[in-house]
Amino acid sequence: MRQAMKLLLDTCALLWLGSDPDSLSPRAKEALVQSPDQIHVSAISALEIAIKVAKGRLVLPAPPESWYPRVLQTYQLREVPVSGTIALRAPRVALVQADPADRIVVSTALELGLAVITADHHIRASTEVSVIW
């Protein structure tokens, strides 16, 4: 049996886990099963989800204010706040054309030694962070 990894879901992976788990890659699903008590999510994902819902670019089965905490509780996800240290490191992460939320996700992973579960090609192209997809 493999040793549990410390994982960080990016926003898309969080959305898929909470609403459409079949969209996760087989490798991502395996990592989640192997590390059920080591799965983290950045608080920046809550902001991204709320903005997408407010702009009509995302429809959830419930308002984000209830959907997000329910998914955290259901999957026992550990929310990581965006600390000053994480925010200050974010501009220096090696990502091409990454939005600020992606930079926060990668910075969080680097600060806490987490592997990122993501389908995002910008994050997957990074040599700084371990990625699972």
Residue pLDDT, tens place only, 85-103: 999 999 999 898 779 999 9
Backbone angles phi, psi at 31, to 5 degrees: -60, -40
Backbone angles phi, psi at 85, to 5 degrees: -60, -45
**Does the pLDDT at position 46 exceed 80?**
yes
Radius of gyration (Cα) for the chain, nearest Å? 14
**Does the pLDDT at position 1 exceed 60?**
no
The class of domain 7-132 in CATH terms is: alpha beta
Helices then strands (H, E): number in the chain? 7, 5
Cβ neighbours of residue 102 closer than 8 Å, sequence gap 6 or more: 10, 95, 120, 122, 123
The distance from CA 56 to its chain's CA centroid, rounded to whole angstroms, is: 21
Q: What is the pLDDT of residue 128?
A: 93
Contact 101, 117 (CB under 8 A): no
> Could you give the CA distance from residue 26 to residue 133 in angstroms, rounded to a whole number?
8
The distance from CA 32 to its chain's CA centroid, rounded to whole angstroms, is: 12
Contact 131, 118 (CB under 8 A): yes
Least-confidence region, from 59-63, 87-91, 93-97, 104-108: 93-97
| Over residues 109-125, mean pLDDT | 96
Domain extents in the chain = 7-132
Cβ neighbours of residue 121 closer than 8 Å, sequence gap 6 or more: none
